[in-house]
Amino acid sequence: MHEMALCQGVVSLIEDEAARHAFSRVKTITLEVGVLGHVEPEAMLFCFDAVSRGTKAEGAVLLIERIPGAGWCLDCGKAVPLTERFGPCPECGHNRVQMTAGDELRVREMEVE
C-alpha cells in the first residue's frame, strides 16, 4: 500500500518543519487529496496513525479534504470537471483534456503547539 510511504513523507515534512520553527507537537493536519490521485483516504488515516507514533505528529487529527478533478479541454477551450484520468471532455467528447486539479497531495495547514 503506497499510502504508508505517503504518510511517511508527510511525517518527515512535519518533523522538518518542527525543527525549523521549534514547535513541540502537531494537533491537526489538513491534507488536500485529489480524487484522481489513487490515494485512499481511509488507508491514509490508518497509516498515519501507525507512522506518526513517536513523532511530533503522534495523536494529531488528520483531516482529509478531497479535491475534485478538473481539466482544460484543448479542443473546445473550456475548463471542465473530470471524473477519471484521461477521460473524454464532458463538453465535446474529445480526449485532449489536460488535468488541472484532482491529482494533489499536499499539506494545506497544520495546527501546532
pLDDT digits (tens, 9 = 90+) for 5-52: 999 999 999 999 999 999 999 999 999 999 999 999 999 999 999 999
At the topology level, CATH places domain 2-68+102-112 in hypothetical protein PF0899 fold (3.30.2320)
Residue at 32: amino acid letter: E
Q: State what percent of residues in the chain have pLDDT above 70.
A: 99
Q: Three-state SS string across 22-39, please?
A: CCCCEEEEEEEEECCCCC
Q: Where are the domains of the chain?
A: 2-68+102-112
Residue 83's Cα: distance from chain center in Å?
A: 17
Closest CA relative to residue 83, chosen from 64, 66, 70: 70
CB 4 within 8 A of CB 51: yes
